[in-house]
């Protein structure tokens, strides 16, 4: 099963939440980010150079964007996978996805 198929399965299991696999992936990434942020706090306490701190902040920013993109891709696949329901229901789901995407970008 490729990544897109697994996201489809997750999307069909829980339309409004996270499936087990996606939830585990997101939690794992967030814990890693949490560790990076704690490391940055220590760097500041140790008075490390601004350059080093900024490089680590850039890494955290990139990691957060990756988490958001993972969640957004899950939501997009979920919206596209909805073949049941009325045209209005599908349009509503896509509108909600677009609103979420705009808030992130």
Q: Which of 11, 4, 1 minimizes the C-alpha distance to 82?
A: 11
Q: pTM score > 0.85 for this model?
A: no
The number of beta carbons lying within 10 Å of the beta carbon of residue 35 is 10
When divided into structural domains, the chain yields a total of 1
Grouped pLDDT means (10 residues each) for the chain, 105 residues: 42 58 93 98 97 97 94 79 67 79 79
DSSP secondary structure, 36-95, as one string: HHHHHHHHHHTT--HHHHHHHHHHHHHHHHHHHHHHHHHHHHHHHH--SS-HHHHHHHHH
Whole-number pLDDT of residue 35: 97
Domain of residue 46, CATH code: 1.20.58.1000
Q: How far, in Å, CA of 103 to CA of 76, rounded?
A: 14
Q: Which domain holds residue 31?
A: 3-104
């Amino acid at each position: 099963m490729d990544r897109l198929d697994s996201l489809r399965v997750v999307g069909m299991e829980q339309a409004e939440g996270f499936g087990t696999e996606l939830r585990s992936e997101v939690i794992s990434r967030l814990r890693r980010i949490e560790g990076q942020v704690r490391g940055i706090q220590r760097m500041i306490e140790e008075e490390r150079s601004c350059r080093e701190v900024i490089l680590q902040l850039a890494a955290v920013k990139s990691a957060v964007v990756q988490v958001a993109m993972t969640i957004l891709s899950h939501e997009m696949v979920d919206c596209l996978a909805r073949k049941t329901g009325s045209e209005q229901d599908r349009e509503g789901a896509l509108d909600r996805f677009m609103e979420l995407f705009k808030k992130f970008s």
